[in-house]
Amino acid sequence: MTSGTVIAVLVGYLGVLLAIGFWAARESGDLKSYYVAGKRLPSWVIAFSSNATGESAWLLLGLTGMGYAIGVHAFWVIFGEVLGIACAWIWVARPFKEYTDRFDSITVPDYLTNRFGDTSHIFRWLSAVIILSMVMAYTAAQLTASGKAFDSFLGTGYTPGVFIGLGIVLFYTVVGGFKAVAYSDFIQGVLMFGCLVTLPIVGIAAAGGWGEMLEALGAANPALLQPMGEFGLGAAGISSAIGFVAIGFAFLGSPQLLTRFMAARDQKQIVDGGIWAVVCVIGFDVGAVFGGMAGRTLFPGLVDPETILPEMSAALFPAFFTGIFLVVVLAAIMSTVDSLLILASSVVIRDIVQKALKSDATERTLSLLGRAVTVVIGAVAVWVALLEVRVIFYFVLFAWSGIASAFTPVVLCSLFWKRTTKAGAVAGMVGGFVATVGWTVFFKESFYDLYEMIPGFIAGFACCIGVSLATTVEQELVVELESVHKAVGPVF
C-alpha cells in the first residue's frame, strides 16, 4: 500500500503541524499561555477542537469498526453524543466559563479548589491521581491506534507506528503548548469531518446504492439492521443501548473538554461555538457508522473490524486520497493525545508543583518544566501501549469513563446545586472513580456488560449529594453561585 504519493501527503501534513508548533511557541512562555492559550481562542477553534479531542481514534477506527460489526445498533452512540454535546454547550459551558474567569482558573482542579474554598489542596492531589492514571490508559489506547494505522496504511509494523505517532505529537505539543494543540485540533477536525462525509457516500455507491447495501447487510446478518442488534429487545439489548447513549454524557464534565471552555475568548464564543460543535459531531458520527456499514458489504470477514477505514481508503480512492485518509486517522489520534498530554502536564505543574507544593519558580521555569513532564508522560504511555495490542474502542471507553465519572457529577452539582459542599464534592470524585474501576474489574461481565460510566455516574452523584446533605454548606459559596448564574443569565 505504500506509495510516494501517500508519503508525500503525510510529510506535507506533518510540515503543517510543525509550523503550527513554531507559530504558537511565541505565546507559550507562561502557564496561562501554555495550558489555556491565554484564554483567547475563537468559537470555531474551540468547537472543532473539543469535538476532535472527544472523538479521537475511537471515532475513525473504533466507531467505523462498530458500524462494521453491529450495524444500526451503533446509532445509539450517535444519539448519546449529540445529546451530550448539545447539553454541554447549552447548559454547562457558560456558567463554567464565568466561574473560571472570575478565579482566573487554568485547570479544572483550579476551578474546584476555588469553587469550594479548598485550602488543603485535596482537589488538586485527588485530581492528579485520577487524571494521571486514566490519561496513561487513554493515551496508550490512542498510540495503539497509531500503531495500527501506520501498519495498515504503510506497512511499518505496529511498534514503529506507535513511536512515529508519539514523536510527531510530542513535537508540536511541547513546542507550542495549548495554542498549538487547539489550532492543530481545528485543522484535524475539519479534515475528519470532510473525510467522514465522503467515505460513506463513496462506500455506499461502491456497494451498489443504499437499497443494495441494506439488502446485503440483511443477508449477511439480519441483526445488523435491528436497533437492538443481535441482543433483541431484552435486558442485554436495552443494557447495551443505554450504555452506548451514556458515552455522550462524558462531554458534560470531562476535564480535557472543559479546558476548551476556559480557553474561549469570551461568552459570545461559547454561544457561537455550540452550533459548530453539534453540526460537527453529527457529521463525524453518522459518517463513521454508515462508512462501517458500507465496508461490511464490500469487505466481509475482516479479522479486525477497526481496520475497515484503511481498507476502504486503499481500495476505493486514488493514492492521494489514501494519503489524506492516513492523515485523518493520525489527526484523530493526535487531536486527543495532545490534549491528554497537556491535561496531565497541567495537573502536575500547575496544581501540584505551583499550588499544592507552593513552588517559587518563575512562570518561565514552570512552563519549561511542563514541557519536560509532557515528554515523560508520553514515554510512559508508549510503554503501556507496547504491552498489548488492544481493541481501541473498549479500552478508550474505560479511560473515558474513569475521568468522566470522577469529574462530571461533581462539576454539574457544583454549577447547578447550591447545597453542594466541599466534602460532598470530594466524596463524589472518589465514589465515581472507584465505582467505574470496580464495576469494570468485578461486575461488568455479570450484568450484560453494562457500560461502566453508568454505575460510575450513579455512584458519583449519590456520594456527592448524600455527603453534601450531611454536611454544612458555606453561605458565601451559595452567594457566589447565585452571582454567577445572574451574570450568565438564561441559557436561551
CA–centroid distance for 321 within its chain: 26
pLDDT of residue 396: 66
Single out the residue of 165, 141, 199, 176 nearest to residue 388, CA to CA: 141
Instruction: Identify the residue whose cell numbers are 492516513.
Output: 326
Single out the residue of 164, 135, 127, 131 nearest to residue 147, CA to CA: 164
pLDDT band, residue 110 (cuts 50/70/90): very high
Single out the residue of 70, 67, 279, 306 nearest to residue 189, CA to CA: 279
Interatomic CA distance for residues 217 and 210, integer angstroms = 11
Q: What are phi and psi of 41, to 5 degrees?
A: -85, 140
Interatomic CA distance for residues 50 and 187, integer angstroms = 12
Domain 4-391 sits in CATH at 1.20.1730.10
Interatomic CA distance for residues 276 and 255, integer angstroms = 20
pLDDT band, residue 47 (cuts 50/70/90): confident
Residue 55 has pLDDT above 60, yes or no: yes
Residues 77, 82, 85: CA angle, nearest 5 degrees: 120
Neighbouring C-beta atoms of residue 383, cutoff 10 Å = 11
Residue 230 has pLDDT above 70, yes or no: yes
Q: What ranges do the domains of the chain cover? A: 4-391
CA–centroid distance for 395 within its chain: 13
Residue 27 has pLDDT above 80, yes or no: no
Single out the residue of 140, 66, 60, 106 nearest to residue 381, CA to CA: 140
Q: What are phi and psi of 472, to 5 degrees?
A: -95, 130
Average pLDDT over residues 248-274: 88
Residue 41: all three cell numbers together = 481562542
Average pLDDT over residues 381-397: 65
Q: Which residues pair with 41 in a beta bridge?
A: 264
pLDDT of residue 195: 87
Considering the entire predicted model, what is its pTM?
Answer: 0.85
Average pLDDT over residues 13-38: 79
pLDDT band, residue 28 (cuts 50/70/90): low
Counting every residue written for the chain, the total comes to: 492
Q: Which residues pair with 264 in a beta bridge?
A: 41
Amino acid at 323: G
Kindly calculate the radius of gyration of the chain based on its CA atoms and give it in whole angstroms: 22
